[in-house]
Amino acid sequence: MRRKSKLAQQRARYHLVLGIGFILVIAFVVGGVVWWLGQRPLPLDPTTLCPSKGPLGHQVLLVDRTDPFNQAQKAAFDNFAKDIVEKLPVGYMLSVFVLGDDFKAETKPLIELCNPGTGEDKSEFTQNTKALRNQYTNGFIQPLDKVTTELLTANSAKESPIIEMLQLVYLNSIQAHKTQGPVELYVLSDLMQFSTALDMYRSTPNFEKYDATYMAKKLWVDLSSVDVHIILLNNNIKNQSPAFIDFWNAYFKRANTKSLEITNLPG
């Protein structure tokens, strides 16, 4: 009877070890599957290359081409545009607008794409890094390079409805793509407003007087979630006086802008 009892104990230990081993194998397999799934990229929108749940952040570029660029401005803009594109974080959207000779036809972005990532931080064992690199180059970099290059040859215009265009950029892009991440608006312009709403070539307007007009109320926008960067073109230094800068500071303050930065484009 003792031998049978000892044999039964050995069998019990054997089955226990076997059971523990089986559980460990299952845990290892499940853990491996979870890890592999975690390494897979999130699905992207096939048109915008943005995460399926929406962009993680948004950068908007508005280029004022109502006046032609000189050679220095073209070179400076080319460097600026490349810097914007190359530094765009993965998952962030870049929207590009132009203000040119056909204001009514330019109310929509020329292009809107997210940075899908280069795949350099991914493992070849879990993802097709070559395909990710091709997607970044062919689907993101090349289309944006084409658009920014075409901006250099855009035609000049008789009017410069900058305030009207800012409202349309807000409605058709910033508000249309609501994101929990940061939103930045880059405006490359001389800010010389010239339309039925306001004429800055005649004289520098007083913002308080403008703000009391019907057009000011009609064209108002809420930029409380937006960091605004003005890249000022020095096309009309005589009119771009301290009072001129004061007007635009007051305009963006009235729009509740989250932050405002004004710098000059070389040339």
Report residue 119 as tokens.
């795949």
Task: Name 116's Cβ contacts closer than 8 Å, sequence gap at least 6.
Answer: 44, 49, 90, 132, 135, 136, 139, 140
- Answer whether residue 52 is part of any domain: no
Q: Are residues 96 and 129 in the same domain?
A: yes
pLDDT single digits (tens) 83-99: 999 999 999 999 999 99
- Answer whether residue 152 is part of any domain: yes
- Answer whether residue 47 is part of any domain: no
CA angle 259, 57, 191 (to 5 degrees): 40
| CB-facing half-sphere around the CA of 177: CA atoms within 13 A | 29
Distance CA 255, CA 260 (A): 11
Report residue 126 as tokens.
């879990």
Containing structural domain, residue 34: 1-39
- Answer whether residue 50 is part of any domain: no
Q: Are residues 75 and 164 in the same domain?
A: yes
Positions of the chain with pLDDT under 70? 1-42, 119-128
pLDDT at 15: 60
DSSP characters over 155-208: PP-S-B-HHHHHHHHIIIIITTS--SS-EEEEEEE----BSSS-BTTT-PPPHH
- Answer whether residue 139 is part of any domain: yes
Q: Are residues 61 and 35 in the same domain?
A: no
- Answer whether residue 46 is part of any domain: no
The number of folded domains in the chain is 2
Q: Are residues 116 and 148 in the same domain?
A: yes
Distance CA 90, CA 109 (A): 20
Q: Are residues 205 and 260 in the same domain?
A: yes
- Give the chain's count of helices (H) and strands (E): 8, 6
Strands of the sheet containing 57-64, edge to edge, are 111-114, 92-99, 57-64, 183-189, 226-232, 259-264
- Answer whether residue 160 is part of any domain: yes
Residue (of 91, 133, 141, 87) closest to 116 by Cα position: 91
What values do phi and psi take at 262, rounded to 5? -120, 120
Q: What is the CATH number of the domain that holds 188?
A: 3.40.50
pLDDT at 1: 46
Distance CA 70, CA 190 (A): 13
Residue (of 166, 58, 152) closest to 107 by Cα position: 166
- Answer whether residue 63 is part of any domain: yes
